[in-house]
Amino acid sequence: MSCALCLKQKPLQRSHIIPEFVYDALYDDKHRLRVLSSKPDRASRMEQKGFREELLCADCEGLIAKWERYVSLVFSGAITTSSRRDGNLVFVSGVDYAQFKLFQLSVLWRAGVSMLPFFSNVRLGPHEELLRKLIVAADPGDPHDYGCTLYALTKDNGVDRELITQPTQFRMQSVRGYHFLFGGMSWVYFVSSHGVPPGLKAAFVQRSGTFALLPVKSPGEMFIERLARRLHENRTR
């Protein structure tokens, strides 16, 4: 079979769609995580690994793994960044623009090409191929290209890393977007040929290595329950 990224005929790996490092906070003492169904009448199940499928060759896995490792080190504090607060926003500086942005693009693209039901709401159309070309060339594009705003999910003792939910699609004016929740962050991607609302552009990661982060209270388990009901209602209409 051909690799979804380089399109070459090579043996495929069991590729993660959402990086493995974000699941660490979800595993129990037996290295299992609980997967919640979007259908209220379907039982939850235990998994040993995050969502994976045969998607990428080893070379392309290695390409993306570099960006995943970089972002995992930023989030863990192993790579030093600085921050300043401006009202409700926190501006984080000192990240590598290319690696951080390519990580964001790789997650969006993988979700778009995935055949797993969990990612069925992410359908990128012509943007799928545009994203593939950027990723295979290790080209992050401009800050406003597939820009992503970040919200930190906070709780009393820090960031809530124990949530992961099915990505959902939304529309803001004429702009289509996708909402992911993983790794203690809400990732809101804007995918459109029409541009994004001007006020949001400054929040995207910039070539200077700065991005805006909005801390919000974690929705917790009640959010998952509401989301499950809403997804089920949408599918049965």
Asked if residue 24 lies in contact with residue 113, where contact means CB atoms within 8 angstroms, the answer is no
SS (H, E, C) 52-74: EEECCCHHHHHHHHHHHHHHHHH
Domain hosting residue 99, numbered range: 14-235
- Residue 154 domain-assigned? yes
Mean pLDDT across the chain, nearest whole number? 80
Task: Give per-residue burial for 51-70: e unless 16+ CB within 10 Å, then b.
Answer: bbbebbbeebbebbbebbeb
* CA neighbor of 211 nearest in space, from 148, 131, 140, 135: 148
Alpha-helical regions (H) of 46-158: 58-76, 97-113, 127-136
- Residue 9 domain-assigned? no
- Measure the CA–CA gap between 116 and 145, rounded to whole angstroms: 26
- Give the pLDDT score at 155: 65
176-219 confidence digits (pLDDT tens)? 889 998 887 889 899 976 677 777 888 899 999 999 988 776 55
* CA neighbor of 109 nearest in space, from 126, 132, 125, 134: 132
- Residue 5 domain-assigned? no
66-83 confidence digits (pLDDT tens)? 999 999 999 888 999 999
- Residue 6 domain-assigned? no
Poorest-confidence range of 71-80, 87-96, 227-236? 227-236
Asked if residue 94 lies in contact with residue 109, where contact means CB atoms within 8 angstroms, the answer is no
The average pLDDT across 13-36 equals 65
- Measure the CA–CA gap between 209 and 4, rounded to whole angstroms: 29
- Residue 50 domain-assigned? yes
Q: How many domains does the chain have?
A: 1
- Give the pLDDT score at 123: 95
- Residue 2 domain-assigned? no
Q: Would the pLDDT of 227 be above 50?
A: no
- Residue 7 domain-assigned? no
DSSP 11: P
Predicted TM-score (pTM) of the model is 0.82
- Give the pLDDT score at 215: 77
* CA neighbor of 17 nearest in space, from 166, 200, 171: 166
- Residue 55 domain-assigned? yes
List CB contacts of 97: < 8 A, sequence separation 6 or more. 140, 143, 205, 206, 207, 208, 209
- Measure the CA–CA gap between 47 and 96, rounded to whole angstroms: 33
